[in-house]
Amino acid sequence: MSDRRTSTPVKFVIAYLVVLALMLGWWTALQASTGSAAPVLTVLVAYAGPAVGWGVVTTLIGEKRRRT
Amino acid sequence: MIAWELPTVLALALISGVVTLMLFRFVRRDHYLVCRPVPFVGGVVFMPLFVAIAVVLGAEWSDAERASGLVLLMVGFWASAAWLASPRTQGRWVPGLEFGPGLNFRPDLILPGGVMLVKGTILTGIGIMLAVQESFRLPKWNWWGFVLAFFGIITLIPIRGMAKMLARRDRFLGRPAGWQVPVRWGLLVGGLSILLYGFLAAFMGRTPISEFRPVAGQAPLAAALLAAGALSLLAREAWKRRLLEGVETSPARFGSNLWLYTSLVVFMYGYILAFMGRIMRPHLADNPAGLAIGATLFTLGASLILIARPVALHNELRATVRVTVGALAAMPPEARWRMMIERMRTIAAYPIPQRSWHIAAMMSAVAELDPDTSAEIERTRNEVMVTMTSEERMAMMEAMDQLVA
């Protein structure tokens, strides 16, 4: 039976590409929000990105932690 | 219009690399939040607020709108560093992060102090830039400047942090420490120089090297301030060697960071003079808004370095002792014995208050381990005690008696 587990370097590269895609998406949303001619929306988008990332990293992994 | 330019994408790629490295799950899933606690994760994911600040500075808004956006983001930029002063930022030891004898890949043990230094420097720098203009003018942005500054951040946080970790391990084990002052000083001054040049170029809206060079206007004064700042930082590193690690008084901790901050401001002003070429000072009558916003950002920066950083550094030390004990427990018996005898001989040679503090910190770390591992560590400790000289044993017993009393 072959070992189908993904190696750590491959997982790291995948994780990096996901983070980079999220970062580019966040930056694009920030750029687009400046078109609204008011800083409020941009500031909201600015804080929403890291806040969502924080929630995803901690609750997703924390959730798995509770299940094990 | 969304501009996908090379320096922007390069900057985002570099930031993503650091964020991934610090948050990647190198350990078992149920160990993740033990070694990467929730406040630490928050500190890491909020570091890219730089990106939002860049977007706001480049937005086609009125000065008032851009200034309010900048201040709102800067408060978050400050808060995401300030909460790293919480003792919950540092986790406990988990297996699987070792990369050398007594060394673990633990960014939570070095990030808070480094982030406070970097963010405190940036907030202070922008504060000064806003406050010393003749008329209200917001900073601009250049992504190449940020790309260069990024390497200053890398020098000051992970590279200097690793050097501090190695230095601390050598001090804990009583090994020669002569290399520590020049290396730490070199990394501090080198990292600050790259950081300040990069950010000054970024906030002036110029490309480093090709468009942003020193001007001759105030060269002698600028050189004198840069030299004074750098030498003051060297003197501080030498002075810090005389402090008793772990039992420094609060005034000594605050004084050390005040010394750092004062030298930093002198060094920073030297940079501003070197690249602006004229004396810059506040203009209350002509630029009250710039002065008010600048003073606010300056105060936020000062609070990070003077108030939050001393607390964070003490938490880092305490957590390092805790993690080192866990790492000792995981070593093969012979390696553990060798490291433990070095450690206990070093502790026995400390003055009594420092000896007691380190023994108490280690005992509390041992108590956190599972009973079998804890018993194993205590067995090695007893074996080591037998091989110590009677003076060393007496010194250890004296400190333990004091703890019990």
Whether the pLDDT of residue B405 is over 80: the answer is no
- pLDDT averaged over chain B? 93
Q: Is residue B16 within 8 Å of residue A19, measured between CB atoms?
A: yes
Q: CA B60 → CA A31, B56, B57, B126, B133, distances in Å? A: 11, 9, 9, 20, 21
pLDDT digits 0-9 by tens, B151-210: 999 999 999 999 999 999 999 999 988 899 999 999 999 999 999 999 999 999 999 999
> Distance (Å, rounded) from C-alpha B276 to C-alpha B218?
8
Whether the pLDDT of residue B269 is over 80: the answer is yes
The confidence score (pLDDT) of residue A64 equals: 53
The confidence score (pLDDT) of residue B284 equals: 87
Chain A residues with CB inside 8 Å of B76's CB? 46-47
Contact A65 B32 (CB under 8 A): yes
SS (H, E, C) B300-365: HHHHHHHHHHHHHHHHHHHHHHHHHHHHHHHCCHHHHHHHHHHHHHHHHCCCHHHHHHHHHHHHHH
> Distance (Å, rounded) from C-alpha B330 to C-alpha B182?
33
Q: Look at the block and give the residue holding tokens 């020049």.
A: B182
The confidence score (pLDDT) of residue A38 equals: 76
ipTM of the modeled complex: 0.89
Whether the pLDDT of residue B360 is over 50: the answer is yes
pLDDT average, residue stretch B291-302: 96
> Distance (Å, rounded) from C-alpha B194 to C-alpha B151?
7
Across the interface, of B15, B61, B68, the residue whose CB is closest to A37 is: B61
Which of the residue ranges B11-15, B82-86, B125-129, B216-220 would you say has the lowest mean pLDDT? Answer: B216-220
pLDDT average, residue stretch B27-54: 93
Buried b (16+ CB within 10 A) or exposed e, B72-84: bbbebbbebbbbb
Total H helices, total E strands in chain B: 17, 2
> Distance (Å, rounded) from C-alpha B70 to C-alpha B170?
43
Q: Which two tokens stand for residue B54?
A: 């860049």
pLDDT average, residue stretch A39-48: 93
A44 close contact with B: CB closer than 8 A: no
Whether the pLDDT of residue A46 is over 90: the answer is yes
Whether the pLDDT of residue B286 is over 70: the answer is yes
Say how many CA atoms lie within 13 Å of B33 toward its Cβ: 17
Searching chain B, which residue's CA lies closest to the CA of residue A48?
Answer: B46
The pTM of this model reads: 0.93
pLDDT top residue among A1 and B128: B128
Chain A residues with CB inside 8 Å of B20's CB? 12, 15-16, 19
